[in-house]
């Protein structure tokens, strides 16, 4: 089994146990994708973690986009902005950095 900083990940790089998550792990995962995590990345990652804590699921991209716009301003509430932060998809890549499982319905 592969691991990142000692935390076990599955074949797609998602944490097996979300309790293992640390900020350092997120930084390390991002580095693997050639991304330097900015404050804007962290806003989304923290949002995803809070959302999961409250609803026990990762949000669908449509729901995420709307909620980000509501919380951080209209100019950020679109998929173009979110994809500029997470080129492999805000759902899939964002959730992976946030230590969450792959979103339901995400291919």
Partner 1 sequence: MAIKKFMYLNRRAPYGTVYALESLEVVLIAAAFDQDVSLAFMDDGVYQLVEGQKTDGIGMKNFSKTFHALGDYDINQFFVSAESLEERGLSVDDLMPLVWEDEDDDWAEKPSIKVVPNAELTKIMSEQDVCLSF
Which residues lie near partner 1 (CB under 8 A)?
54-57, 59-60, 62-63, 66-67, 104-105
- Would you say 30 or 98 has its CB closer to partner 1? 98
**Least CB distance to partner 1 at residue 56 (A):** 5
- Tell me how far CA of residue 79 lies from CA of 6, 36, 40, 56, in angstroms: 33, 20, 14, 23
Of residues 38, 94, 106, 107, which has the active-site annotation? 106
- Would you say 59 or 90 has its CB closer to partner 1? 59
Distance between CA 15 and CA 103 in Å, rounded? 13
Query: In this structure, what DSSP letter does residue 92 have?
Result: I
Q: Are 91 and 106 in contact (CB under 8 A)?
A: yes
**Least CB distance to partner 1 at residue 61 (A):** 9
- Would you say 43 or 66 has its CB closer to partner 1? 66
The DSSP code sequence of 40-88 is HHHHHHHHHHHHHHHHSSPPPHHHHHHHHHHHH-GGGSSHHHHHHH-TT
The verdict on whether 95 is a catalytic residue reads: no
**Least CB distance to partner 1 at residue 57 (A):** 5
Residues noted as catalytic: 106
């Amino acid at each position: 089994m592969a691991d990142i900083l000692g935390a076990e990940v599955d074949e797609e790089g998602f944490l097996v146990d979300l309790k293992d998550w640390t900020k350092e792990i997120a930084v390390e995962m991002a580095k693997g994708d050639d991304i330097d995590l900015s404050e804007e990345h962290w806003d989304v990652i923290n949002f995803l973690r809070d959302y999961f804590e409250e609803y026990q699921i990762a949000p669908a991209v449509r729901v995420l986009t709307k909620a980000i716009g509501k919380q951080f301003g209209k100019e950020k509430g679109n998929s173009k902005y979110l994809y500029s932060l997470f080129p492999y998809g805000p759902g899939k890549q964002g959730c992976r950095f946030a230590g969450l499982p792959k979103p339901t319905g995400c291919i």
